[in-house]
Amino acid sequence: MATNFTKELMVRPGKKVKLRKYDPDDTLGWEKSHKTNDSIERSLRRVDKAQYLLYANRKTALLVVLQALDAGGKDGTIRHVMSGVNPQGCIVISFKTPSAEEVAHDFLWRIHKAVPEHGYIGIFNRSHYEDVLIVRVHNLVPKEVWSKRYEEINEFEEMLTRNNVTILKFFLHISKDEQKKRFMERIDDPDKRWKVSLADFQERKYWDDYTDAYEDALTKCNTEDAPWFIIPSNKKWFRNLAVSHVIAETLEKMHMKFPAPTVDVKRLKWT
């Protein structure tokens, strides 16, 4: 089944996003089967091959931003989609509550420090978007402060792309019922109970507020150079399929080649 995941799942710049119009159960016609598993495996091999070229060239970097509501699947996406990537050329950063040092700087300071260097794939588990999401929902700073951050984020991402950092931003879209189901699975599974926190359940009462905040972020910070992808993620297998294909398609569009050797290999002699 031929599907252009990049085209199908990218949010068109200028489009006002309403998440109720996006079905988190959508699979673009795909079904869970051995063919789907084979497609995921092929896309992971494509990512692995392209990452090797990226690392050899050292001319550009790929930044993957993962955003989702609690239990949306950020950790699972990293674990499954990046399973075949050489860790030597990949970094994963999870952004937690800012430290005292980070709070003493502008909100993008800690983000910029974590941007991958050329030749690397960088993965952000949460990101600078928390400063227009949780900060907004819980009134951690005045509206006159966070409302200006959309433009500041766009300028920051534009600067990164001008400096050869390709940005992919994924919103892993799940339903409120699916979130509850995943929370209950964590409670029932002794191996997953460590993930359970009271805050996760308390945050559910802000579901509508987070939806509004995400809709604004997906609308206002969606550009040609740094687009958003809304990934239907109720079905984990489709989430992995879609994200792996978009990453593979993006890397292959870079048309990378191996750099020329730094020495004349014909003149090398064994001793």
pLDDT in tens, 197-239: 888 889 999 999 999 999 999 999 999 999 999 999 999 999 9
* 71-91 pLDDT, tens digit each: 999 999 999 998 878 888 999
* 173-188 pLDDT, tens digit each: 999 999 999 999 999 9
Q: What is the pLDDT of residue 197?
A: 85
Q: What is the pLDDT of residue 171?
A: 98
DSSP codes, 1-23: ----HHHHHBPPTTPPP-GGGS-
**Band of the pLDDT at 94, cuts 50, 70, 90?**
very high
Q: What is the pLDDT of residue 1?
A: 66
Of the ranges 25-34, 60-69, 161-170, 259-268, which one carries the lowest mean pLDDT score?
259-268
Residue type, 75: D
Percent of the chain, pLDDT > 90?
86
Q: How far is CA 2 from CA 17, 35, 146, in A?
A: 26, 12, 41
Residue 186, helix vs strand vs coil: helix
Q: Which CATH superfamily is domain 11-254 in?
A: P-loop containing nucleotide triphosphate hydrolases (3.40.50.300)
DSSP codes, 200-260: HHHHGGGHHHHHHHHHHHHHHT--SSS-EEEEE-SSHHHHHHHHHHHHHHHHHTT---PPP
Q: How far is CA 125 from CA 29, 114, 140, 169, 266, in A?
A: 28, 12, 21, 11, 46
Q: What is the pLDDT of residue 102?
A: 96
Which helix (H) or strand (E) is 105 found in, with range?
A: none
Q: What is the pLDDT of residue 263?
A: 85
Mean pLDDT of 112-117: 97
Mean pLDDT of 45-72: 96
Question: Rounded distance, CA 262 to CA 226, Å?
Answer: 34
Question: Rounded distance, CA 247 to CA 61, Å?
Answer: 12
* 25-56 pLDDT, tens digit each: 999 999 999 999 999 999 999 999 999 999 99
**Band of the pLDDT at 165, cuts 50, 70, 90?**
very high
The mean predicted confidence, pLDDT, of the chain is 95
Count of residues making up the chain: 271
Q: What is the pLDDT of residue 195?
A: 85
pTM: 0.95
The order of strands in the sheet holding 90-94 is: 90-94, 121-125, 61-68, 165-173, 228-232
Percent of the chain, pLDDT > 70?
100
Q: What is the DSSP letter of 117?
A: P
What are the tokens at 10?
């990218």
Q: What is the pLDDT of residue 75?
A: 95
